[in-house]
Amino acid sequence: MTTANLARIELASSPPCEQFRSRFPTRPQPEGIAAIPRAAAPAAARSDRSSIVAFITAAALVGFATNLSMHLLNLRMQHLGLSELAIGVSVAIQALGIVVAAPFTKHVIARCGVRQTLIIGALICAATLTAFGFIHELFIWDGMRFIFAAGLALLFTSSESLVISRAGATNRGRLVGWYATALASGTTAGPLLIALIGVQGLTPLLWSALIFGAATMPMIAFLKPGEQLAPVVRKSTFATLRFAPLVFLSAFVFGALDNGGMAMLSVYSVLTGYDYASAVSIAVFATIGGIVLQIPLGIMASRGEPRMILLFSGLGLMNLLTLLPNVMAVKPAAFAVSFFFGGLLEGLYTVSLICLTKYYRGIGISSANGCFVAMCGLGELLGPLETGTSMNYFGPGGFVVGLTTTLAIYCILLVVGTKSTVPTAKLAKAT
């Protein structure tokens, strides 16, 4: 996954796990009114499934538009003759915008409601993308990318939170797994549209803006009247860190390895002797792994202890990275290693989301999810710096050295750190 996934960015106000508090306003039944017949239950279940499908589809469209716009803006900057350094700084500014804006999403939701927050986020993204077609000054571009990132943070955090707020004890693993699969698929497919719409002129930007607008429609259509996603927590968003710090550590490590590992995998392949076509194939296999393995990992994390799945993924990634230099000479083996590398890396994101749905309902999913997205963005911002510095000092082998060092520290903290589970009583006291 690329820098677009900076935006990978807990909304419901119900108690933890299975003890849900209603997310919708309820009124006392007048005397003489019969209870709702049981026959209505299947219809309600079908409606809930339809809303889940709609929210997942919309979130995938957000990922599609995000990665499309990222590559589109970078290519337009290159066409304008800007240096790679200038483009990199511009991407970093967009990442910084995600880090800054995501934690404030809960305040916008509390003040405006989730429906208006989605609309505001989509309007900011669409308006700034359209404005890029009329402005060519680098300084203004960087400022606009920061604003664009703010809209992206609102839209992505709200849409993702709508999905995970539907996760319960019976469907948590499957739902989050399907969401991660759809998001990875949408993110991967985004840049492919550039081949059809091109880079120059206003039309590609308008297409991107239109897709952001279209992404909000399924969510708005399936939001139930009176549905509230306002956070419970009244403290700082980052106060949520103390409840399950390893969840947010996992988000940071995912961001660092995603942008410093997946995004640099093709570069590493070229440095070890691959031609450009083969290097791209390595990255494609990693992306396919990120799509295929999320449902199995999600189900495993839902049925077992999520922290053990995170540890399994971290140790697996370390072993795969250590193995990678030894198999690069054998393409089928290199493709297999990259496949599982992408799958386990994406699994850090999937399993961490499952932890959010399981442990953070009592303090507000929007608060936790905003912090989660910010930690992903921080990792996306710092990850390439670590990998690039390591490769600068150690050559191609620095790719493995930098990433395995990060993973080793992460696994040690998983073993000796605070458990990622949070007692229900503690959550109740927090609210």
Q: What is the pLDDT of residues 28-62, one digit of tens each?
A: 444 444 444 544 445 555 556 777 888 888 888 88
- Banded pLDDT at 11 (limits 50, 70, 90): very low
Q: What letter would DSSP give residue 247?
A: H
Q: Is the dihedral of CA 344, 348, 349, 355 positive or negative?
A: positive
Q: How many CB atoms lie within 10 A of CB 170?
A: 10
pLDDT of amino acid 135 = 82
Predicted local confidence at residue 240, as pLDDT: 62
Determine which of 144-148, 276-280, 338-342 has the lowest per-residue pLDDT on average. Answer: 276-280
pLDDT at 364: 62
- pLDDT band for 404, please (50, 70, 90 cuts): very high
pTM: 0.75
Residue-averaged pLDDT of the chain: 76
Note the pLDDT tens digit of each residue in 84-137: 667 777 878 888 888 888 888 878 887 888 888 888 999 999 999 999 888 878
Q: What is the mean pLDDT of residues 390-416?
A: 87
Tokens at 378, concatenated = 């921080």
Q: What is the pLDDT of residues 291-328, one digit of tens each?
A: 888 888 888 888 878 888 999 999 999 999 999 999 99
Predicted pLDDT of residue 320: 94
CA nearest to 350, candidates 297, 410, 420: 297
Assess contact for 216 and 116: CB atoms under 8 A: no
> Exposed, middle or buried, 336 (CB in 10 Å: 0-12/13-18/19+)?
middle
pLDDT for the residue 263: 72
pLDDT score of 232? 44
Identify the residue with better confidence: 426 or 247. 247
User: What pLDDT, on a 0 to 100 scale, did the predictor assign at position 125?
Assistant: 92
258 DSSP 8-state letter = I
When mean pLDDT is compared over 68-77, 95-104, 117-126, 223-232, the highest value belongs to 117-126
Which of the 8 DSSP states describes residue 33?
P
As a whole-number percent, the residues of the chain with pLDDT over 70 amount to 77
Q: Is the pLDDT of residue 423 over 80?
A: no
228 band by pLDDT with thresholds 50, 70 and 90 = low
Q: Which range, of 88-92, 287-291, 349-353, averages the lowest pLDDT?
A: 88-92
CATH topology for 3-20+49-430 is Growth Hormone; Chain: A; (1.20.1250)
Q: What is the pLDDT of residue 12?
A: 30
Q: DSSP assignment of 131-198, as one string?
A: HTTT---HHHHHHHHHHHHHHHHHHHHHHHHHHHTT--TTTHHHHHHHHHHHHHHHHHHGGGGHHHH-
DSSP annotation of 330:
S
**Average of pLDDT values for 170-175?**
77
pLDDT computed for residue 227 by the predictor: 57
Asked if the model's pLDDT at residue 209 lies above 80, the reply is yes
